[in-house]
Structure 1
Amino acid sequence: MQTAEQIRFSAEDYLTWEDTQTEKHEFISGEVFAMTGARQDHVIVSLNIASALKQRLRDTPSRPYISDLKLRVKASDAFFYPDVMVSCHADDLKNARFIEHPSLIVEVLSDSTAAFDRGGKFAAYRKLASLQEYLIVDIEARRVECFRRTSDNDWLLHDYVDAVDCELTSLGIEIPMAEIFEDIEPA
């Protein structure tokens, strides 16, 4: 029997195959990688952020999504499952299988994915012309790193810690750090 890591697919074959799977798999240049379950703190923080976004974006053209919907990065021949993402693009509202034009992506760090979230995944995400902000959430440090695209197409880090509000300029909203880390016990 083949494991997901041994199978090579085209993007379309991956989508067809993934629809039949009971577990989620990310896709990068023909290879698929099984996703593991998240720890409780990871899920709580992801839910806190998604809930805050849902409340603040109500009655706007922007829509938040949680980790069960795929993100396609066509320029990297990849599909990912970000913890949270927001799209304000009309084409994404019509696509039931994946998002292609997010303005915001959020990844909550875990020990097994931190290096990839900061490195290869962020490199792929930067190829999305629509992406304006990328949040990396470090639960242990109670920190949110907001990488914001500049007008020169560079990425500027805004570091949020402690009681400061996390500003999301691409969406014109703020989320208090206390709300992001609500129900998380201090380390």
Structure 2
Amino acid sequence: MIFQLQPQFMTPQEYLEWEEQQPIKYEYMNGEVFAMTGGILPHNSIAINITSALKNHLRGKGCKVFMADAKVGVSQNGPFHYPDVMVSCDPQDQRARKVIYHPCLIVEVLSPGTEAFDRGKKFRNYRQIESLTEYVLIEADRLNVECYRINEKGKWELTAYSLDATTIDATEVEVDFPSVDFRCPISLLYEDVVFPEENTEDSADR
């Protein structure tokens, strides 16, 4: 997705009230709002795959899975973002109707236009959420998953997964999301995804 700066300056409450009336979604940081536009189809497929897998895994466990239309608030005063996928197991979020404030897992699917933002400023914002223990970045143009997790010292550590990696018995590597006790083969996250080198259609149809 692509973020475009808009010229309005708003308080958090003004933003929340104003955005409800808008035809598209806007994120909010430091009094400024940013319009969100559509991403590429592989981005959408990956988000659907992980949402479906997490939904099935967490059914009946008191957690909720949210996709891109769900807004997360770093605090009551923002920033406010729209993660591609997030999970909350906090009772306060089970009753929420507009904003999620206590996610334990956030997933962003990377695209060229937003990768630097997802890795940088957005991750810095997310780290301020006390309930968050895992932040996952999934690349859309190759099989590569990066998981940042809080360790026992309160520091964020990186674990990376790729198709090239194999286990001791040479089987496919599994991606592990300990924040929600979930594991799956890395290929499951990329089911039905067509990578650039595989796409032989005319560029106008992409």
* TM-score above 0.5, yes or no: yes
Q: Matched residue pairs, number?
A: 185
Percent of aligned positions with the same letter in both sequences?
39
Name the CA distance, whole Å, in 1 between partners of 2:133 and 2:103. Answer: 8
Aligned residue for 1:7, secondary structure, equals strand
The Cα offsets for residues 26-71 of structure 1, whole Å up to 9 and x where unpaired, read as 0001100000101110000000000000000011011110010100
Name the CA distance, whole Å, in 2 between partners of 1:108 and 1:69. Answer: 15
Structure 2 residue 85 is matched with structure 1 residue 84: yes
Aligned to 2:68: 67
Aligned residue for 1:185, secondary structure, equals coil
Aligned to 2:142: 141
The Cα offsets for residues 154-174 of structure 1, whole Å up to 9 and x where unpaired, read as 011010111311101111111
Aligned to 2:204: none
Aligned residue for 1:111, secondary structure, equals coil
Q: Which amino acid aligns with 2:75?
A: K
Aligned to 1:114: 115
Does the CA-based 8 Å contact 1:133-1:146 persist in structure 2?
yes
What is the Cα deviation at residue 77 of structure 1? 2.6
Does the CA-based 8 Å contact 1:28-1:76 persist in structure 2?
no
Q: Which amino acid aligns with 1:99?
A: I
Q: Where do residues 5-16 of structure 1 align in structure 2 (5 Å cutoff)?
A: 5-16=6-17
Distance 1:76 1:151, change over 3 A: farther
Aligned residue for 2:33, secondary structure, equals strand
What is the Cα deviation at residue 116 of structure 1? 0.4
The Cα offsets for residues 104-148 of structure 1, whole Å up to 9 and x where unpaired, read as 000000111000000000000011110010000012231110001
Name the CA distance, whole Å, in 2 between partners of 1:139 and 1:34. Answer: 21
Distance 1:144 1:76, change over 3 A: farther
What is the Cα deviation at residue 75 of structure 1? 7.8
Does the CA-based 8 Å contact 2:102-2:131 persist in structure 1?
yes
Distance 1:18 1:4, change over 3 A: farther
Distance 1:76 1:164, change over 3 A: farther
Unpaired runs of at least 5, structure 1 = none
Of 156-165 and 14-23, the range deviating more from structure 2: 156-165
Return the TM-score normalized by structure 2. 0.87
Unpaired runs of at least 5, structure 2 = 164-171, 198-206
Name the CA distance, whole Å, in 2 between partners of 1:124 and 1:85. Answer: 15
Aligned to 1:183: 192
Name the CA distance, whole Å, in 2 between partners of 1:135 and 1:108. Answer: 8
Moved >3 Å (runs of 4+): none
Does the CA-based 8 Å contact 2:12-2:77 persist in structure 1?
no
Does the CA-based 8 Å contact 2:27-2:81 persist in structure 1?
yes
Aligned residue for 2:57, secondary structure, equals helix
Q: Where do residues 30-179 of structure 1 align in structure 2 (5 Å cutoff)?
A: 30-74=31-75, 77-162=78-163, 163-179=172-188
Name the CA distance, whole Å, in 1 between partners of 2:123 and 2:76. Answer: 13
Does the CA-based 8 Å contact 2:62-2:89 persist in structure 1?
yes
What is the Cα deviation at residue 4 of structure 1? 6.5
Return the TM-score normalized by structure 1. 0.95
